[in-house]
Amino acid sequence: MHKKAFVARFIFVLIIAAGLSSSHAAAQPSTATLSLGVVQMALEPELAQNRDKIIRFVGNAAAKGCRVVVFPESALSWPDKTNKADIDSAISAIQDAARTCAVYVIFCAIYKRTETDQPFNWLLVIDPTGRVIHRYHKLWSDSRSNNVPGLFRIDGIPCAGIICADRWIRGVEDLPAVAGAKILFELSCNFADEWVAELGWYWYVPRALRNGVCVVFANTAPNPVFPAVNGFTATAPSSRPMGLSSPPRARSRIVC
């Protein structure tokens, strides 16, 4: 829950050749390819700033042809003593943006169920109608939640989410793949020392190989106070990186 101002933000557009067959909702586009916008987002100190940034990037990604827009852990963060009603209103505004742009939005909000609740990271998946179709309370170091998150579907494709340190929990990282997930999304706010240059994408390539899935990773942008530098990556089941950004700099790119 790091609330200092960051300096960089990027949109990464990835075309995943899905090659999947599933049932589809009416008027859904073909899943021969799935276009993802992965936002390496610089967090701001105020709720409204982060809300507006998320909404802006949803529009930018939709304009680039993205069907899914993915944000990192804590994307919708806020200062202490923020009212729960204001947080709920910000989430509703992001739902409106998803509906207006007809895209899926995957993001994490710092959330609290009551005014006195201890805040936690909450992963939300919003569909193109603006409906929340998946909610997941981060498990790591939080005894209040003990339910593994399970699957959600994007245009019929079974998917699952991971919030940062929950990657160490087999029921979060691997069980969804056993249940049939084809894409695993990790939303993180990683520390600089979690990037080991000589090992590269040493968490994400093995996850893709072990589970036979596509792995998509979204991380916060670096800043002087909290230098998260892992950037973003997408890895195919063959372990072939389909698109990535890593230190010393991140950049936008389209990979087909």
166 in a structural domain: yes
98 in a structural domain: yes
Judge residue 172's burial from the number of C-beta atoms within 10 Å of its C-beta, 0-12 exposed, 13-18 middle, 19 or more buried: buried
Domain that holds residue 98: 10-255
Q: Which stretches of the chain drop beneath a pLDDT of 70?
A: 1-32, 141-145, 191-193, 197, 200, 222-256
Which residue in 129, 132, 168 sits closest to 148, CA to CA?
168
**CATH number assigned to the domain comprising residue 63:** 3.60.110.10
196 in a structural domain: yes
Helices (H), ranges, the chain: 47-63, 84-101, 170-173, 175-178, 204-211
Q: What pLDDT is stored for residue 30 in this prediction?
A: 47
Q: What pLDDT is stored for residue 211 in this prediction?
A: 87
Which residue in 41, 42, 38, 34 sits closest to 13, CA to CA?
38
224 in a structural domain: yes
- Residue 54 has, within 13 A of its CA and on its CB side, a CA count of 33
Tell me how many domains the chain contains. 1
- Residue in the structure block whose two tokens are 């829950």: 1
* pLDDT tens for each residue of 103-138: 999 999 999 988 998 888 999 999 999 999 999 988
Tokens of 72: 């990192």
5 in a structural domain: no
- Residue in the structure block whose two tokens are 């989410």: 161
181 Cβ neighbours under 8 A, 6+ residues apart:
151, 158, 159, 160, 211, 213
